[in-house]
Amino acid sequence: MARARNRPALVAHGGAGNAGPGVERPERRRGMMAAMRQGAGILRANGSALEAVVATVAALEDHPLFNAGYGSLLNSEGNVEMDASVMFAEPVAPGPSARGKRVRSDESDYTVSAGAVAAVSRVRNPIMLARAVMEHSPHILMAGAGAENFARKVGIRLERPEEMVTERARERWRARKQQAGILGAEAAARAAMGHGTVGAVAVDVHGGIAAATSTGGVPGKLFGRVGDSALIGAGTFAHAFGAASATGQGEAIILTALCREAVLALGDGSPQAVAREAILEMIDATGAEAGVIIVDRRGRIGYAHNATSMQVARYDPAGGLQHLWLAPIATARHP
Ligand code: ASP
Backbone angles phi, psi at 168, to 5 degrees: -60, -45
CATH superfamily of 9-326: (Glycosyl)asparaginase (3.60.20.30)
pLDDT at 335: 45
The pLDDT tens digits for 189-198 are: 555 567 899 9
Q: Is the CB of 15 under 6 A from ligand 1?
A: yes
pLDDT at 155: 98
CA–CA distance, 49 with 298 (Å, rounded to integer): 13
Burial class from Cβ neighbours inside 10 Å (0-12, 13-18, 19+) for residue 2 reads exposed
Q: Is the CB of 307 under 6 A from ligand 1?
A: no
What is the edge-to-edge ordering of all strands in the sheet holding 290-296?
236-238, 242-248, 290-296, 301-305
Q: How confident is the model at residue 36 (pLDDT cuts 50, 70, 90)?
A: very high
Mutate to test the pocket of ligand 1, among 18, 75, 83, 218 (most ligand atoms within 8 A of CB): 218
Q: Which residues contact 178 (CB under 8 A, 6 or more apart)?
A: none
List 224's β-bridge partners, or say none: none
- The minimum-distance atom of ligand 1 relative to the CA of 195 is 8
Q: Is the CB of 14 under 6 A from ligand 1?
A: no
Q: H/E/C letters for each residue in 35-102?
A: HHHHHHHHHHCCCCHHHHHHHHHHHHHHCCCCCCCCCCCECCCCCECEEEEEEEEEECCCCCCCCCEE
Q: How much is the pTM?
A: 0.94
pLDDT at 86: 98
Residue nearest to atom 8 of ligand 1 (CA): 248
pLDDT at 189: 57
CA–CA distance, 22 with 36 (Å, rounded to integer): 21
Ligand 1 centroid – CA 239 distance (Å): 22
pLDDT at 99: 63
Q: What is the mean pLDDT of residues 22-50?
A: 97
Q: Which residues contact 59 (CB under 8 A, 6 or more apart)?
A: 31, 34, 35, 38, 39
Is 37 a residue whose pLDDT tops 80?
A: yes
Q: Is the CB of 245 under 6 A from ligand 1?
A: no
Ligand 1 centroid – CA 13 distance (Å): 12
- The minimum-distance atom of ligand 1 relative to the CA of 291 is 7
CA–CA distance, 311 with 137 (Å, rounded to integer): 33
Q: How confident is the model at residue 96 (pLDDT cuts 50, 70, 90)?
A: low
- The minimum-distance atom of ligand 1 relative to the CA of 253 is 1
The pLDDT tens digits for 140-151 are: 999 999 999 999
Q: What is the mean pLDDT of residues 194-204?
A: 94
Q: Side chain identity at 151, as an amino acid letter?
A: A
Number of H helices, E strands in the chain: 9, 13
Q: How confident is the model at residue 2 (pLDDT cuts 50, 70, 90)?
A: very low
Per-residue burial over 76-115, b if 16 or more Cβ lie within 10 Å, else e, is: beebbbbbbbbbbbbbbeeeeeeebeeeebeeebbbbbbb
CA–CA distance, 189 with 289 (Å, rounded to integer): 13
Q: Which residues does the annotation mark as catalytic? A: 197
Ligand 1 centroid – CA 318 distance (Å): 31
- The minimum-distance atom of ligand 1 relative to the CA of 227 is 9
The pLDDT tens digits for 150-180 are: 999 999 999 998 999 999 999 999 988 887 7
Ligand 1 centroid – CA 4 distance (Å): 37
Q: Which residues contact 243 (CB under 8 A, 6 or more apart)?
A: 49, 87, 89, 201, 202, 203, 209, 210, 211, 237, 263, 294, 295
The pLDDT tens digits for 304-316 are: 999 999 999 999 9
Handedness of CA 117, 123, 128, 132 (dihedral sign): negative
Distance of CA 275 to the CA centre of its chain: 15
Q: Is the CB of 247 under 6 A from ligand 1?
A: yes
CA–CA distance, 321 with 43 (Å, rounded to integer): 12
Q: What is the mean pLDDT of residues 33-41?
A: 98
Q: Is the CB of 194 under 6 A from ligand 1?
A: yes
CB 179 within 8 A of CB 219: no
Q: Is the CB of 217 under 6 A from ligand 1?
A: yes
Mutate to test the pocket of ligand 1, among 120, 198, 215 (most ligand atoms within 8 A of CB): 215
Q: How confident is the model at residue 5 (pLDDT cuts 50, 70, 90)?
A: confident
* In the chain, alpha helices (H): 25-44, 49-62, 126-136, 144-153, 167-183, 185-191, 250-255, 258-264, 271-286
204-to-2, 38, 93, 276 alpha-carbon distances in Å:
16, 14, 17, 24
List 85's β-bridge partners, or say none: 116, 213
Q: Is the CB of 85 under 6 A from ligand 1?
A: no
Is 294 a residue whose pLDDT tops 90?
A: yes
Coil, helix or strand at residue 262: helix
Is 181 a residue whose pLDDT tops 80?
A: no
Burial class from Cβ neighbours inside 10 Å (0-12, 13-18, 19+) for residue 222 reads exposed
